[in-house]
């Protein structure tokens, strides 16, 4: 049986073809999709296609071997995880900006961005309890505080995906490190292990500037030009000044009771010719450590001069 679908929704525009098929028919796996595209059982505009084809409005998708049992869909049920009211209150108080397309939260230290086998509550759990349409568009480590973007619809998710891929977003981090780098300002290019494949190496690029040193501590601004897991924590260790409170990459025990002193401090991007800039409020543990060690807060002017 042949069945035809027309792409009419703006949410489907620019979506990969295999992604569209999985959203439309949750029963399909990647192997089935690749096989049937290859055998030309599935075409676009009556032409042979590929799984990574980006859909356009008015595209005509033809499934020549359509069967409602094979091409079936079970709607994703809303998360049934019970979210304690205290987490909802903290999350709501962390929102610093919201419009119809996205919101920005100032994530607190100690909560994971995504769920996992040992994680009961994450930011992803919290946003899914509000709407299944809400999506994370980037990540922060559990102990990293600071700015996090949450898209509220598919169109916004795709837009932020493009912004990140095209490096059209400025991300500025502040860290307090143990030790002082050899160079006060530089760019670091190092390879790190791929989290998903230990045999694969990933190139990373990071700019940094030391804004203050005191008592063998450094107050540093980091600008990651790539976005890889633990990138800044690994770069800090590479520079000989691991971040205070980093139990994984800082094996010195002078400050092992401290929380991680890494904050996703500034986000800057442009959408529809409108410029957005957000600044994180440093968490209490960060401010207390700075006051105790007589470190000054890095100012926006210092960061702007570095940018």
User: Which positions are catalytic?
Assistant: 141
The answer to whether 259 and 143 are in contact (CB under 8 A) is yes
Q: How far apart are the first and last CA of the chain?
A: 59
In the chain, which ranges are E strands? 3-6, 42-44, 60-63, 95-98, 102-107, 135-136, 145-151, 169-178, 185-193, 201-214, 217-224, 262-271, 274-279
Total count of residues recorded for the chain: 307
* Residue for token pair 């470190």: 295
| Dihedral in degrees, nearest 10, Cα atoms 250, 124, 200, 21 | 180
253 CB neighbour count, 10 Å cutoff:
7
| Dihedral in degrees, nearest 10, Cα atoms 95, 233, 294, 184 | -120
How many angstroms separate the CA atoms of 73 and 184, rounded?
Answer: 56
Report DSSP letters for 182-250, one per residue.
SSSEEEEEEEEE-SS-TT-EEEEEEEEEEEEEETTEEEEEEEESS--TTHHHHHHHHTT-PBTT-TTT-
Q: Are strands 102-107 and 95-98 parallel, antiparallel or unpaired?
A: antiparallel
Three-class DSSP category at 289: helix
For helices 17-24 and 30-38, what crossing angle results, to 10°?
120
φ, ψ at 175 (rounded to 5°): -140, 145
């Amino acid at each position: 049986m042949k069945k035809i679908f027309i792409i009419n929704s703006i949410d489907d525009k620019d979506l990969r073809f295999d992604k569209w098929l999985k959203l439309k028919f949750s029963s399909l796996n990647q192997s089935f999709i690749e096989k049937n595209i290859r055998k030309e059982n599935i075409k676009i505009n009556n032409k042979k296609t590929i799984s990574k084809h980006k859909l356009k409005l008015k595209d005509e998708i033809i499934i020549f071997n359509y069967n409602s049992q094979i091409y079936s869909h079970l709607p994703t049920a809303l998360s049934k995880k019970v979210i304690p009211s205290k987490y909802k209150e903290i999350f709501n108080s962390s929102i610093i900006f919201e419009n119809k397309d996205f919101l920005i939260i100032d994530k607190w230290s100690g909560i994971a961005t995504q769920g996992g086998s040992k994680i009961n509550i994450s930011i992803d759990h919290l946003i899914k309890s509000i709407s299944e349409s809400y999506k994370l568009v980037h990540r922060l480590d559990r102990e990293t505080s600071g700015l996090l973007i949450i898209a509220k619809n598919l169109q916004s998710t795709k837009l932020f995906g493009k912004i990140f891929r095209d490096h059209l977003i400025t991300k500025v981090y502040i860290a307090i490190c143990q030790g002082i780098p050899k160079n006060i300002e530089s760019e670091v290019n190092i390879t790190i292990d791929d989290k998903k494949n230990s045999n694969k190496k990933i190139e990373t690029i990071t700019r940094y500037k030391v804004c203050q040193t005191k008592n063998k501590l450094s107050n540093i601004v980091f600008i990651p030009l790539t976005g890889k897991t633990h990138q800044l924590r690994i770069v800090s260790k590479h520079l000989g000044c691991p971040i205070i409170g980093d139990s994984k990459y800082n094996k010195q025990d002078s400050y092992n009771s401290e929380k991680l002193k890494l904050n996703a401090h500034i986000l800057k991007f442009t959408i529809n010719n409108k410029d957005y800039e957000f600044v994180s409020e440093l968490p209490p543990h960060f401010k207390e450590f700075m006051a105790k060690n007589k470190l000054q807060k890095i100012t926006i002017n210092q960061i702007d001069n570095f940018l």
